[in-house]
A = this chain, B = another copy of it.
């Protein structure tokens, strides 16, 4: 029961990274939502390596050819959701589990393999089973349906994820102001920025290329802004917007921290100082666990990937997964919002 997310917009993911396919069954997407399979495919393509922009392709594309061609098996008819369960899946075309056979007896440092023995009495040595980035394909697919539901219900709502920091390199206040301006103008597209890191000072592609060559890896921070946020979403006690988001985000692999609004920076400010400020940046658009309608702001920290040089070659991993995490984080945001939006329908007579 722990491969399921959401109370009403409820979905269950399946598939091992090196099994036949990964996918999701969504049980709770309302009927009447228009679906465009080519858009869904594009959502998926965004999480593939080397998709940020042309400049970075030589950096991030690995040999692995994940075509990730999506199949909508049920729940959609003539481009509209039926209200029945939606099953979407992607076959794993390139199942090179032989590479993984080599490492099956030496669980990798920082990987989940050995804890699985503890848990299930076995380890599926084929690439880490469910504890792999491949599992996030299912999240992105669920997120696409959640997004379509929400934007067709609240046409102005807008989720923008971006890389705020890669290792010690962080966006400046000017970078953030530029982004803010572009979001207002509706001209911002995170995918036009190398590594989804919207700045120009650092040559981030060169940094990552060098890291790849050296077997080095970087962590970082993803931040999300939700503009034109519907008011009143989130439930008072255990369904607070902030704890639902925290759960969604911290369920993503390699995450190490979650902050709402100003986050930990708030813990060192005094009350008189804080309450002079306008609310939104302070609390991130949430009060008492419920959305205020202001911009929702939260951040998610990623540790540097655990794969070092030799193993990296076998497993063909990225030097920095943070840019690829952006669409996953956005998808989980949509999923949380869709679920809380449906829950809100039951709050009043």
Interface of A with B (CB < 8 Å)? 1-5, 7-8, 10, 12-16, 19-23, 25, 27-28, 30-33, 71, 73-75, 77, 80, 82-87, 89, 109-116, 118-122, 124, 126, 128-131, 135, 149, 152-153, 165, 167-168, 215-221, 231-232, 235-240, 242-251, 253, 255-264, 266-275, 279, 282-283, 287-293, 301-308, 342-349
A172 to B: closest C-beta gap in Å = 16
Cross-interface CB contact of A216 among B74, B149, B272, B303, cutoff 8 Å: B272
7 pairs, A vs B, C-beta closer than 8 Å:
A3-B236, A168-B268, A244-B247, A256-B259, A256-B264, A263-B301, A271-B306
A23 to B: closest C-beta gap in Å = 7
B266 touches A219 (CB 8 A): yes
Complex Cα gap A119–B236 (Å): 10
Contacting residues, chain B, for A242 (C-beta < 8 A): 250-251, 255
Cross-interface CB contact of A77 among B71, B85, B126, cutoff 8 Å: B126
A237 touches B1 (CB 8 A): no
B267 touches A256 (CB 8 A): yes
Complex Cα gap A23–B89 (Å): 12
Known: A246-B246, A256-B261. A115 touches B231 (CB 8 A): yes
Contacting residues, chain B, for A279 (C-beta < 8 A): 110
Complex Cα gap A136–B237 (Å): 10
Closest-by-CB residue of B relative to A239 is B2
Complex Cα gap A348–B119 (Å): 8
Complex Cα gap A259–B111 (Å): 19
Contacting residues, chain B, for A14 (C-beta < 8 A): 25, 27, 73-75, 84-87
Additional pairs, 12, CB under 8 Å, beyond known A14-B87, A274-B303, A275-B306: A14-B85, A31-B122, A111-B288, A115-B288, A115-B291, A128-B288, A129-B236, A152-B349, A216-B272, A266-B304, A267-B302, A283-B303
